[in-house]
Chains A and B, each alone.
Chain A
Amino acid sequence: MATGVAAWLPFARAAAIGWMPVANCPMPIAPRDNSKRQDELIILNVSGRRFQTWRTTLDRYPDTLLGSSEKDFFYNEETKEYFFDRDPDAFRSILNFYRTGKLHYPRHECISAYDEELTFFGIIPEIIGDCCYEEYKDRKRENLERLQDDQEENKDMKLPNMNFRETMWRAFENPHTSTMALVFYYVTGFFIAISVITNVVETVPCGSTANQKDMPCGERYTVAFFCMDTACVMIFTVEYLLRLFAAPSRYRFMRSVMSIIDVVAILPYYIGLVMTNNEDVSGAFVTLRVFRVFRIFKFSRHSQGLRILGYTLKSCASELGFLLFSLTMAIIIFATVMFYAEKGSSSSKFTSIPASFWYTIVTMTTLGYGDMVPKTIAGKIFGSICSLSGVLVIALPVPVIVSNFSRIYHQNQRADKRRAQKKARLARIRIAKSGSANAFLQSKRNGLINELLELTGTEEDEQKLIKSTSLLESQHHHLLHCLEKTTAHEFVDEQMYEQNCLETVLQSYPSRSPSISSHDSSMGTCCGHRVKKNIPLPNASVPPAHPVPVHQGPLQELSAIHIQCSDPSSHTASRSTLNLKADDSRINCKGGRITTAIISLPTPPALTPDGDGLHGPPQRRPPPPSVSNSSTDVLQ
């Protein structure tokens, strides 16, 4: 039952009295409305804007938030109203839905924001009214495409565990992934160009020899051209076979357009090899050589524009078909008319209707070669009508194709623009995030300063520093601190980490333990190169609730856990770098400290000015010991 007309239910029930005398059996008992609530006004306070409505209005849709008891969660006892901390503008359309039974989509609203509001209030978007549904769907589709584009780019990032075949396929599909792929891309492009130019130059007359007239270059320098052709076909064959090998679904690859073009491009050569120089088939052989021109289509892998054009033509297939059909109709009509009009005149070129096709086509496309011209008056009249209508017929479907092309082209432009914007956006986000990470380190130092001050007993300084962090910040920092305690590691910044790395290397060099080899191999770059490796590492610089996609290459924030041995008197010190995956067996207690590193690449070093602090002598302090020196620097 449509709840929009719920208000008329009493009427419908009353009208049922009309059935009573006709009925033969007793009626069932009516349900009682025990909660005899008088209809009351409900106040809905949405971010300060008060909406009021009747309770029965909201009760019309009991499977939504406002219509069910779920809204009791938002009830404010003191003010006797329901408070929602949501967007009041979007709420207007939602409340109108209850009132009128029709959900409208306000066009100025962002589609994802609107969707979120609908989800929050438990309304399914499918009930959007017809007036707004199309717009809603269009916007939603655009948004999805945008998201898909973004996802596809993320996919382009190298996944850690790709086997050789997958790597190769990715290299083929997207040449920018690695240098090898780029080289391959350019080499194949070069050879395609060479092959096409060879085909063209082959037919150019190359100057005459003594006894014969002008020969095309192909016949003069047969061997050279043959070698060139062979080389190109070799390259293309190898490329095709490699692609076939690397393709995730070979069957699908073989059916795709590009692979068919590849095959057609190299087949003539092989067929030519197989066939002998027989007189009968040489004609066919010559025809086959025509197919070599298909090599030029291989450029579509290299050119985005060409692909867009191909895609446009495919998507405008119906318009093109219509164009063709209407042209054919017009051609036949006018050819017939012209033929009969010119039949009378002598020495007329219009010998048959098919012969008139040529005239009609040339006239309709306004080419006007002039090889066939009507001579009778009737012919001239119809000829002019033909040319006028030709302009019209061709002009009609063309704008549709053009607009399609423009739309797809702009979509691609948008994709490129978004990619460029994304880099800038992500860089700024990174900076902001690293800012927060460093804030934590800062506050930790402040915290340690406080401890230091506690020991020394200067209270005023302590209070000054305590005030500098807000409650939210301090709670956040407390959380990170808890995490540190949980993992028994600490956060430090990049410089400290690198220094510790170097120190570890220097200290660990004499001792022969298994993890030395990894150190040796990357002594100078232990933090640099290793750190760039795409190992999924726990990201400890932000609260664990926010999973940062770890496979973003340059954005990676590593939490490299590097623990040097502290004093023997301190708690269990296990020496490990995260690169080595926590090698517990090594305990080198020549002194050192426990540090952990957050590496944001690249962290503006200005934010962490106190890398030098750690070089001080090991502190004989209970953990966490290591950053005390830096704290004194900060004080200064």
Chain B
Amino acid sequence: MWCLFFLSNVASVCVHADKADDDLEMTMVCHRPEGLDQLEAQTNFSKRELQVLYRGFKNECPSGVVNEETFKQIYSQFFPHGDASTYAHYLFNAFDTGHSGSIKFEDFVTALSILLRGTVTEKLQWTFNLYDINRDGYINKEEMTDIVRAIYDMMGKYTYPVLKHDAPKQHVDAFFQKMDKNRDGVVTLDEFILSCQEDENIMRSLQLFENVI
């Protein structure tokens, strides 16, 4: 009996140790990106640009991956007036194509490549992906309302004119008016791309960030 007691203690200690090791492992996860050449081939960036991007990325996330909390923090720093966490959450999901819960440098740079150097269609596809929160191929009103509300949240409280409570809803209604061609209550990818290509403002604004890097 005494032996059993002793052994059970030892076992529990071992289990605890393993658990501790697991915890330790999880916090120490480190990721190295693929080689520079591969990334250059996969994206539309030059080597120098990739270097610049990686240095900024690694500076902020020395472990090589960004988790959602850090992502939200970083993004919120650019919008001090309001609350950018909701939109950052959607952005994070859009960046994290593998749904792994963390963004690696490859994901980061791939998305940036699309956004900054991609074709119009690619950009619109990416944006559709962002809006389609549940990834079912359709944007419905609730998803769109969530997105628009998240965008308005970033504005904060002090705006001119004063933000009315139903402003997101009105915005969404206008959006659907424009995008939903067959009035079925959802927007598909094709409807989306078509409607956007018809709108000059959107086309022009998509080219706005060509030379960000």
Contact = CB atoms under 8 A, between A and B. Distances in A.
Contact of A14 (B57, B131, B151, B212): B212
Contacts of A7: 55-57, 59-60
A517 B179 CA distance: 108
A249 interface: no
B80 A13 contact: no
A27 B74 contact: no
B205 A32 contact: no
Instruction: Determine the interface band of chain B, counting residues with CB < 8 A from chain A.
Output: 35 or more
Q: Is the interface of A mostly helix, strand, loop or mixed?
A: helix
Interface stretch (B31-39, B156-164, B196-204): B196-204
A25 B201 contact: yes
Contacts of B205: 20, 23, 26-27
Nearest to A54: B55
B186 interface: no
Nearest to B151: A19
A320 to B, nearest CB: 45
A26 B78 contact: no
Contacts of B201: 23-27
Nearest to B208: A30
B172 to A, nearest CB: 9
Interface residues of A, number: 36
A317 to B, nearest CB: 42
A367 interface: no
Given A1-B80, A22-B171, A32 B60 contact: no
A227 interface: no
Contacts of A280: none
B211 A32 contact: yes
A9 B148 CA distance: 22
A626 to B, nearest CB: 72
Given A7-B57, A10-B213, A25-B201, A17 B206 contact: yes
B74 A5 contact: yes
B52 interface: yes
A38 interface: yes
A54 B54 CA distance: 14
Contacts of A26: 201, 204-205
Contacts of B115: 14-15, 17
Interface in A83-123: 99-100
Contacts of B75: 12, 15
B78 A14 contact: no
A99 B211 CA distance: 25
A9 to B, nearest CB: 7
Contacts of A164: none
A13 B212 contact: yes
B77 interface: yes
Given A15-B115, A23-B202, 17 more contacts: A2-B77, A5-B60, A5-B77, A7-B59, A10-B112, A17-B115, A17-B206, A18-B127, A19-B151, A21-B131, A22-B147, A22-B148, A27-B201, A27-B205, A30-B209, A30-B211, A33-B211
17 contacts: A4-B77, A5-B60, A7-B59, A7-B60, A10-B56, A10-B112, A12-B78, A13-B212, A14-B116, A15-B115, A16-B209, A17-B206, A18-B131, A19-B151, A20-B202, A25-B201, A39-B52
Interface of B: 48, 52-53, 55-57, 59-60, 74-75, 77-78, 80, 91, 94, 108, 111-112, 115-116, 123-124, 126-127, 130-131, 147-148, 151, 171, 174-175, 179, 192, 196, 201-202, 204-206, 208-209, 211-213
In the A-B complex, list the 4 residue pairs whose CB atoms are closest, starting with the nearest: A7-B56, A14-B115, A27-B205, A20-B205
